[in-house]
Structure 1
Amino acid sequence: MSTRIGVAIVAATLALYIALVGQRAWLLLTSGDTVGTVMGVALLILPVIAAWALWREVSFGIGAQRLGTRLAEEGGLPEEELTLRPSGRPVAAEADALFPSYRAAVEADPEDWRGWYRIGLLYDGAGDRRRARGAIRSAIRLERAERKR
C-alpha cells in the first residue's frame, strides 16, 4: 500500500510540474516577443514528454498489478523463494539455477503471458530490473492480445 501512496505522490507532483510548465509556456507563447515564443515552444515539449513518461509508467504499473493479481487468483505465481543476503539482494547462484526451467517454459509457449510474467518476476528477484520490465511488458502485451481474441 505504501508503494501506491508513493506512486500517487510522485504522479501528482509530476502532474503539477506539467501544469506549471505548461502555464509558463503559454505565457511565453502569448508574450509577442520572438525569444519568448521560441522559449514557449521549447517549454511545451517538456510537459508533453513528462506526460508521456508518466502515462507509460502508470499504465505499466497498473498492467503489471492486474496480471499479478490474475496469476495469483489462478494459483500460478512462482512458489520458489530466493535466499537474500544482508544487503537484501538475492543469492545469484539460486536465481541462476531457476532460470533454465523458466526460460524453457517461455520458449515452449512464447505466446503465453504467464511464462513471461513469471520470468519477469525471477529477473526482478535477481535484481535485473531492465530484463524484468521487458519480460513483464511482453506479458502485458500478450495478455492484451489474448483478451482481444
Structure 2
Amino acid sequence: MESIITVRGNVKHTITLDPTVWIFDDRKIDLTTYFNAPQIEKDEDEEYKKSMGKHWSREIMEGAIFPPTLKTEKKFDRQKMVTGTFGILLNPFLKNAVPNEDAKTITFKSADNHEETFPLSDAENFIFKFSQDGKPLKEDGPVHLLFKDGSNIENPLKEIRSITIE
C-alpha cells in the first residue's frame, strides 16, 4: 500500500503528505472524543503571537533561560498513541501548498480512481483520519476523509491517494 498522498494542481507548491508520521504531530486530533465534545475554534497564528509575546516579556524581565527546563518539554502519552484513533485537519497542509487565487475546487481521488469534488472553501471542514485503535489504516487507507461535523463518520471517503486543486 502506498502511504504518500500528493497535493497538486492549481497550487504554487506541489507537496506530498506522509500520514505515517502524523502520530507524532502535535496537531493530531483524538477522534474518540472530537465529535462528542464541543469544539473551540483557535486561530493558530494568534496563539503563536500570544505565546511569543509572553516569552519576549519574560526574557525582558528575567533574562533568557537556556537550556529549557524539564517542565517545558513535551511528553507523549505512549499508551494513548498505541491504542488511540487519530485524525488531523487538512487545512494547514493546503495552506502550505498555497492554492492560486483562481482555485475553486478540491478533488480527492481514491485507489479505485473514484473522485469526489468539493468547493475549496469547504477545505477547513476536512479531517484526515489516519489511525484506528493505534494502528495505521492499511486495509482501506492511508487516510479516510471525515467532515468536521461528523456527518460522514459512518461512510467516509476511503483509500485517498491524491488531492487535486483546480
- TM above 0.5, yes or no, is no
Bigger RCO (CA 8 Å, 6+ sep): 2
Q: TM-score, normalization: structure 2?
A: 0.27
Which has the higher Rg, Structure 1 or Structure 2? 1
Q: TM-score, normalization: structure 1?
A: 0.29
Structure having the larger proportion of residues in strand:
2
